[in-house]
Amino acid sequence: MTSSPALNPAVTDWNGPDGLPRFEAVSDGDFAPAFDAALVEHEAEIDAIAANAEAPTFANTIVALEIAGDRLSRVSALFWNRAGAHTNDAIQALERDIAPKMSRHYSKIGMNAALFARIDALWEGRETLGLDLEATRVLERHWKGFVKSGAKLPKAEQERLAAINETLASLGAKFGQNVLADEKSWALLLDNEDLAGVPQFLKDSMAAAARDRGEEGKYAVTLSRSIIEPFLTFSERRDLREQAFKAWVARGANGGETDNRAIIRETLALRAEKATLLGYQNYAALKLDDTMAKTPEAVNELLTQVWEKAVVRARQEEAELAELIAREGRNHPVMPWDWRHYAEKLRARKFNFSESELKPYLQLEKIIDACFDVAQRLFGITATEKKGVKGYHPDVRVFDIRDPDGKLVALFLGDYFARASKRSGAWMSSFQSQHRLTLKNGAKGELPIIYNVCNFAKPADGKPALLSLDDARTLFHEFGHALHGMLSNVTYPSVSGTSVARDFVELPSQLYEHWLTVPAILKRYAVHEATGEPMPQDLLDKVLSARTFNAGFNTVEFTSSALVDMAFHTRAAVEDPMAVQSEVLEKIGMPASIVMRHATPHFQHVFSGDGYSAGYYSYMWSEVLDADAFAAFEETGDAFDADVAGKLKDNIYSVGGAIDPEDAYRAFRGKLPSPEAMLRKKGLAA
């Protein structure tokens, strides 16, 4: 008889400063036994709730479900953080095992007939329970969640649904790992003579990337967005731009073990079958059932309206780039590896500034400070770095977040630099969400522990990290998500922070981006990395006047991806996903000079898990909201108006999913918006 592996208490009993996990005390080998024990414990808790001999009440059923699985939540939070932000072969192998195991676990809960009978009885009698609005929303979420998990299906169909969910979990994990593998395995190593046009800040980043690969004295173009995009922007070597671009867009479609095309086909087939089992016309209808958009038709109406304006603008932009190419004495058409390069030259000509001129004024440290300053001005909270407190990687920084009275209200972790062990992109997540329930260990509520992950190029030793304007927006965007988690003020964990409708969750993040370019913020924090001098007024004016430059390109990139996502998930069957992608792009008139922001084989939002499947549109849906929301400040003449900021905090940032998102927005703004403010912001309005 073999004994079970010893459990490391540090995985689930967090006793670091202010309840932070002691990351350094958890090894990769600790996760498997911790998961096994936590799954058994959670299953026992669920069984006890279902078998309770007392009649169902909100307290003994819904509240009991809300606080069950605390240890599972903790091991999961640590593990998925490591899998995304600092992975390795051992973690990836465990991820492939854990993803289907977790799916099986939650499928079993969702199909627990005795448990659903209790929830269903409460739902049917909800008018007699005396519940407040938040509690009613929590009950509704649990009931709908069980129905969508197959609680009302016959046994055979429940079993099929569970098998589908398990397979989808495995496919999603493999999809993301394949993209990461393609990103890690490719680098274009260059010598100094290959760097025509490349500015010093990018040379430094490329040299550091080469050193990381053991190539001292070389310069590496990698598939990290913080290197590939500026290389495509500045390099004068068209042959090298083409080589790098083709590798970038080929992620997930290179043949062999990391090719994602078969995974996509199987994923779409299983999603369509799942929707049919649950009684929906298609998978998009299933996913949109509990969103602001409500229907695929509403989504496609918005996307089409924006597309028609964006593609006209993009054609105009393309003509200007073609003229610039001809002036250089070249006779090639505008290709996707040319667009960023010539758009940068056109911007320099039109507005008399370039990205390389702007970048010395956008130091990472100063932009972080700017994020914190905006939060203090709007919401009264302050951030103080906890020096010497260890995060999950040496680059990670930990901050106290305190309210105006000095009370600790959250912990925030910032993880800003790209590395080979981190998946690409940027995201916010949490180790712990805010709530006020009493847990089984006697703790009354929990402090939110929120983190942001970015992939900025790490500077050479002794040099500041410099950001592009897009990088700076990304940092503000993710901190907007973080604020949504940190300012949460709800009773129940399931509606805390970002636990809102998918097409509402981007509102707090996209809205926060607006404050980056508020003149008072740029003047204070956009200071030169060498001299400390603020950005000159004329350069600031140029930056602000260029805000809608290249809007056609940017909107076409995004909207084409969203339209392809909707096409995949509104069809009964997709035999050849790549053929569908081509068909959609041809139908809408996709310019040959632009590609989708996320081509299907590396469209992680949609296929590396379920998060944004039939939901990539939500960035634009939220953009309609954020443009209108910032207009509330503009109408006062003060970007930090205290009354508007108070309404924003009380009705958007702090309520989570405790009230319906339409009601939340109306409470803040007094009305729902139309797309016009968003189109004006993009410069696409007539």
Three-state DSSP class for 118? Answer: helix
Residue 490, amino acid: V
Burial letters 468-478, b for 16+ CB under 10 A, else e: bbebbbbbbbb
What is the Cα–Cα distance from 542 to 353, expressed in whole angstroms? 7
What's the per-residue H, E or C state across 408-455? EEEEEEEEEECCCCCCCCCEEEEEECCEEEECCCCCEEECCEEEEEEE
Q: What is the DSSP letter of 656?
A: T
Out of 478, 506, 513, 623, which one is annotated catalytic?
478
**CA gyration radius for the chain?**
25
Residue 193 vs residues 184, 196, 228, 236, 254: alpha-carbon distances, Å: 25, 7, 18, 11, 29
Q: Which of 25, 576, 617 is nearest to 287 (CA)?
A: 617
Beta strand segments in 129-233, E: 188-190, 219-221
Q: Which of 417, 415, 408 is nearest to 384 (CA)?
A: 408
Cα 341-427-265 angle, rounded to 5 deg: 80
What is the Cα–Cα distance from 415 to 417, expressed in whole angstroms? 6
Residue 225, amino acid: R
What is the Cα–Cα distance from 133 to 660, expressed in whole angstroms? 10
What is the Cα–Cα distance from 191 to 483, expressed in whole angstroms? 43
Residue 472, amino acid: A
Contacts of 522 (CB under 8 A, 6+ apart): 516, 535, 540, 543
Residue 142 vs residues 38, 64, 281, 486, 495: alpha-carbon distances, Å: 21, 12, 23, 24, 11
Residue 437 phi, psi dihedral angles, 5° rounding: -75, 155
Distance of alpha carbon 209 from the chain centroid: 25
Residue 306 vs residues 158, 488, 557, 675: alpha-carbon distances, Å: 40, 33, 12, 9
The encoded tokens of residue 148 equal 């969508």
Beta bridge partners of 414: 397, 452
Contact status, residue 304 vs residue 316, Cβ threshold 8 Å: no
Q: At what angle do helices 225-234 and 238-249 cross, to 10 degrees?
A: 150
What is the Cα–Cα distance from 56 to 72, expressed in whole angstroms? 25
What is the Cα–Cα distance from 514 to 622, expressed in whole angstroms? 13
The encoded tokens of residue 594 equal 């632009």
Using a 10 angstrom Cβ sphere, with 0-12 exposed, 13-18 middle and 19 or more buried, the burial of residue 651 is middle
Annotation marks residue 66 as catalytic: no
Contact status, residue 512 vs residue 623, Cβ threshold 8 Å: no
- Give me the helices (H) in 26-154, please: 31-50, 64-67, 70-85, 89-110, 113-124, 133-148
Three-state DSSP class for 383? Answer: strand
Residue 392, amino acid: Y
The encoded tokens of residue 302 equal 């918005």
What is the Cα–Cα distance from 664 to 292, expressed in whole angstroms? 12
The encoded tokens of residue 370 equal 């700017």
Residues annotated as catalytic (active site), given as ranges:
478
